[in-house]
Amino acid sequence: MAHPLIGIHAALGEIGVLAFLWVFVELLNPTIERVKRAKIVALMGIIFLFMSWVTAGYYYVNIYGPEVKPIIKGGPMPWAHSIFTETKEHVFLFLPFISLFTLGLLHKHEKKLITDKNIKKSLLILCGLIVLIGLSMAGMGYIISTGARTALEAGFI
Amino acid sequence: MKIHEKALTISTSSTIVLIAVLTIWSELSTPFKIWLTGIAGHHWVTKGVFSLVFFVITYFVFSKFSEDNVKKETSCVVVSAILSGLAIFLFYIWHFFSG
């Protein structure tokens, strides 16, 4: 059975990313109420991303490294670890900082962004970037799981 | 607390670049990777702790500087994230095929 932390870290991360998709939608046509809601949702998103960081980190250091990594590296898809796990574990670290930056801008320009198109566009781009990086995390997670599954199917235990 | 936009931009962009540099450097230099591992027990944990500490320090250092404009600052963060992400991904492709 797959370790529960795989699902837990993925769920926390996806909720965090979906929160920024929500912020994106709120800011498409911002009003005072929508900006207020966007600030709360962005803060929730950051909390979920940090919880994902901690759970993923615990799983990666204590379970994935000693148990799953050798299986993938010995299987038919060693590149699933060597390229995708390595990229995922490091590019993920961008997310908490970009999301903090986004919340910072949102707080600072909460009044101006309703009328200033440049600020609105900047925040939309940042939310879009967070969502795209988050989706790429999910995609790489799928490739890594496939790497482990194919190794087990091929008898590498 | 008043948020200093320029400091936040510099701390975010430079932290992203720092993550990319630490990642690539630790793969190219075994002693450096061992040193990182020795600090927190795992090189990835040390990179995370370093990034957080670096982010906070650079924010407070650069909060003494004057403000800039949002469009320029957002571009700085977005470009550093895309280029650093690509650098890490392409490095690991090269590393896999050259190893």
Residue B87 has what pLDDT?
97
Evaluate if residue B62 carries a pLDDT over 90. no
| Angle B18-B26-A3 from CA coordinates, rounded to 5° | 95
Confidence band (pLDDT; 50, 70, 90) for B68? low
Chain B hits for A87, CB-CB cut-off 8 Å, are 85, 88-89, 92
| Most A CBs within 10 Å, among B1, B2, B3, B80, to test the A interface | B3
Whole-number Å distance between alpha carbons of A56 and A105: 27
Mark yes or no for CB contact A98/B48 under 8 Å: no
Which residue from A79, A87, A118 is facing B89, i.e. has the nearest CB?
A: A87
- The count of CB pairs under 8 A between chains A and B is 96
Evaluate if pTM is beyond 0.90: yes
Task: Indicate yes or no: CB of A125 within 8 angstroms of CB of B78.
Answer: yes
B3 in contact with A, Cβ within 8 Å: yes
Cβ B50 vs Cβ B22: under 8 Å: yes
Rounded to whole angstroms, the Cα distance separating A137 from A114 reads 32
A20: pLDDT strictly greater than 70: yes
Q: Mean of the pLDDT values across residues B5-29?
A: 94
Domain chopping of chain B, boundaries: 5-98
**What share of chain A has pLDDT > 90, as a percent?**
93
Radius of gyration of chain A measured on its C-alpha atoms: 18
Q: Which chain A residues have a beta carbon less than 8 Å from that of B11? A: 97
pLDDT for B63 equals: 85
* Predicted pLDDT at A136: 97
* One-character DSSP codes across B12-50: HHHHHHHHHHHHHHHHH-HHHHHHHHHHHSSHHHHHHHH
Instruction: Name the minimum distance, in Å, from the CA of B59 to any CA of chain A.
Output: 11
Could you read off the pLDDT of A73-124 as tens digits, one per residue? Answer: 999 999 999 999 999 999 999 999 999 999 999 999 998 999 999 999 999 9
Burial code of B19-50, b = ≥16 C-beta within 10 A, e = fewer?
A: bbebbbebbeeeeebeebeeeeebbbbbbbeb
And the tokens for A133? 């990086």
Average pLDDT over residues B1-27: 92
HSE at residue B78, side-chain half, CA atoms within 13 A, is 19
Per-residue pLDDT band at B69 (split at 50, 70, 90): confident
CB-based burial of residue B52 (10 Å sphere; 0-12 exposed, 13-18 middle, 19+ buried)?
middle
ipTM: 0.91
Residue A37 is predicted with a pLDDT of 97
Return the SS3 of B4: coil
Is B65's pLDDT higher than 80? no
What is the pLDDT of chain A when averaged over all its residues?
95
